[in-house]
Amino acid sequence: MPHNEEAEIAVLGSILLDPKNALDVARMRLANVGIKVDSSGKRNAFYNPAHQLIFEAIVSAADNDHERPDAITLADQLERNGQLEMVGGRAYLAQVANSVPTAANIEQYAEIVRQNAFLRSLIGAGIDLVDRCFEPVDDAQSLADQIEQEIMGLSSNEGESTIQTIKELWKPAVQYINDLAQGNAGARGLATGFKTVDKLITGLRPAEMIVLAARPSIGKTALALNMASALAMSEDNPVPVGIFSLEMPARLLVIRLICSEARIGLSEIRDGALSDGNWQQVLTAGKRVGKADIVIDDAGGLTILELRHRARQMKREHNIQALFIDYLQLLQADAGRNASRENQVALMSGSIKALAKELDIPIVVLAQLNRQAEQQGQKPKLGHLRESGAIEQDADVVALLHRNREEQYSSEDARKGVEAELIIAKNRNGETGIANLTFLPAYMRFADRSRVADEDVPADAI
């Protein structure tokens, strides 16, 4: 029968390494797959009976509040259940526990186990189908209908049904429309900190993938940090925020957050030009930033599977309500060696969209535009998204950041701030348009163009 012994062991080893997160993935992937083994409808996802017993013991331990079962506690539990020798004893449990160096690939391992379990279910159903077809029947069409239902049932048992009727949905939909019309905060997405942007996209909404794209050095990281800090440091409704910084170390991100909050340019700090008053501003801003519920992961070279795993961990441990990824093209796809870069980016884009739906949070993904977006006098377009049109297809919102490069500004321009545009080129659930912003390059901060106050304008030019 189809199975993969190494993948089954790797799933169990990953769970023992990281019970909190890997067990959630395994449960989700392996729920309701496999051949029924008793009248209660219980299913075995693992081909090796010993592996199924180990998995059930881990689940039982986790459900009884033993958050981190290991080979020793697991062996003790199995011995008390009279099952230790059935699974190969303590030596085999130790071998399983040391089978993988990291739990990062748990999704891939669990998917291999799931696919094989599903194939075994199909084979079992096929064998039963053949046997029944050889038996005398009164109505062959009725038998065909029963067989069709059973085959369809195998697919539906892979997870909970997501089918809903309009009768269930129309009342909540009308209530949402009413809340939106009344201006209730709960009906809108999370505020980005920019009223002109929120007016167009109605905030960052759960389960949506928002792409923020620009050419290098235009300020997309700065804009994303401004949004993240607005969410986490909101006076009305602060929420936990997660950030994956694949390009910049976490320490530098925090420095930029503090400088932006203090309205102090990083160049002033480097040049040793801080007055006592400015230094006090930095300390005060540092304390405010330090209280913000922002979680940063700056690991480089992440694969999309590793990112999904870590994002689930952020959600589980910190209950993040929004996630920022800087940036898409620095991720690595878990695709075959011969896959084109366009196919790899398409795979990553689709995975991020699926992750947003799974975690039910908005995910803001930064992305690069191609060189055509730099041509003189031209504003960026959807077609300038680098390497894959799948980004445009998967995204609920695509925002293209546009401004002239800093070296073209006069000192007077730099002192007052420079004009920038956030072009909402795609908005699946709303209108497109342009949000006019002002960029304050001295401390990498954006503001609504009409809302730039005197204290926001740096005293000195760049």
Q: pLDDT tens across 137-152, in order?
A: 776 766 676 666 666 5
| pLDDT score of 364 | 94
Kindly state the average pLDDT of the residues 18-42.
66
In CATH, the number for domain 174-456 is: 3.40.50.300
Mean of per-residue pLDDT scores for the chain: 78
Kindly state the average pLDDT of the residues 13-18.
84
| pLDDT score of 377 | 61
Contacts of 176 (CB under 8 A, 6+ apart): 187
364's tokens:
């803001």
Query: What is the pLDDT confidence band of residue 272, given thresholds at 50, 70 and 90?
Result: low
| pLDDT score of 87 | 83
Helix (H) or strand (E) holding 29: helix 19-30
280: three-class secondary structure by DSSP:
helix
Task: Say what percent of the chain tops pLDDT 90.
Answer: 7
Question: What are the pLDDT digits (tens) for 172-222?
Answer: 788 877 877 776 766 678 888 888 888 888 888 888 999 998 888 888 888
Say if residue 32's pLDDT is above 80: no
- HEC string for 53-114: HHHHHHHHHHHCCCCCCCHHHHHHHHHHCCCCHHHCHHHHHHHHHCCCCCCCCHHHHHHHHH
CATH topology of domain 5-156: DNAb Helicase; Chain A (1.10.860)
The single residue of 158, 247, 392, 406 carrying the catalytic annotation is 247
In the chain, CATH 1.10.860.10 covers 5-156
CA 37 centroid distance within chain: 36
Handedness of CA 259, 226, 347, 46 (dihedral sign): positive
| pLDDT score of 454 | 47
Q: Which carries the bigger pLDDT value, residue 85 or residue 325?
A: 325
In the chain, CATH 3.40.50.300 covers 174-456
Verify whether residue 419 is a known catalytic residue.
Answer: no
